[in-house]
Amino acid sequence: MTQCKPLGNLIMKQTVSPSHCAIDTSMPGDPVAIVRPHLRGSTLLVVGGDERADQLVRLCGELGLRDAVWASTRDSDPTPRRFRSLIRNPRLTLVVLLEGLIRHQHARDVASLCEQSGKPLVRIWRSPNPVAVAHAILSQASRQLALPVMN
């Protein structure tokens, strides 16, 4: 899989394996506590697999979100139409892509729409639990959200 990373005015393509989406524990402190003040009152979009309402409630509660929306990808529609309006929503702060639960074309479409809309995109492996999301934010989107950078 390929992930685009900004490098000045250029876009650098980098090969990413599912292990890239694993939790990185190199940053001291509680990652949820670090990102919570920056996400408080915002809206998050989860893309991939089937909606799990319990996970959305947990994300909202632990990350201090105003709202969390899940765009299920189990339907047979291969077009990015349904993601477009969700990602372009001005209230949306962050998109979480669930690797392993999304088609490659959907992942490319979502990444492209996020880039076009200026929305941060983080990739995690399958489960959008608050700790995994917080780690992904710190390691993949901290510059876009003005957070501490995790190496």
Domain residue spans in the chain? 18-140
What pLDDT is stored for residue 105 in this prediction?
A: 86
Please give the distance of CA 29 from its chain centroid, rounded to a whole number: 21
Q: In the chain, at which residue ranges do the beta strands (DSSP E only) sit?
A: 2-7, 10-15, 43-47, 67-71, 92-99, 121-125
How do residues 89-104 score in pLDDT, each as one tens digit?
Answer: 999 999 999 999 888 8
Q: What is the pLDDT of residue 82?
A: 79
pLDDT of residue 29: 77
Neighbours of 74 (CB within 10 A): 11
124 token code pair: 């995690």
> Does domain 18-140 match CATH 3.40.50.11140?
no
Q: In order along the chain (151 residues), what is the average pLDDT of each group of 10 residues?
A: 38 39 54 92 93 94 95 73 89 94 89 94 92 92 68 50
pTM of the model: 0.77
112/121 Cα distance (integer angstroms): 10
Residue 50: count of CB within 10 angstroms of its CB: 10
CB-CB contact of 130 with 151 (8 Å):
no
pLDDT in tens, 28-56: 578 999 999 999 999 999 999 889 999 99
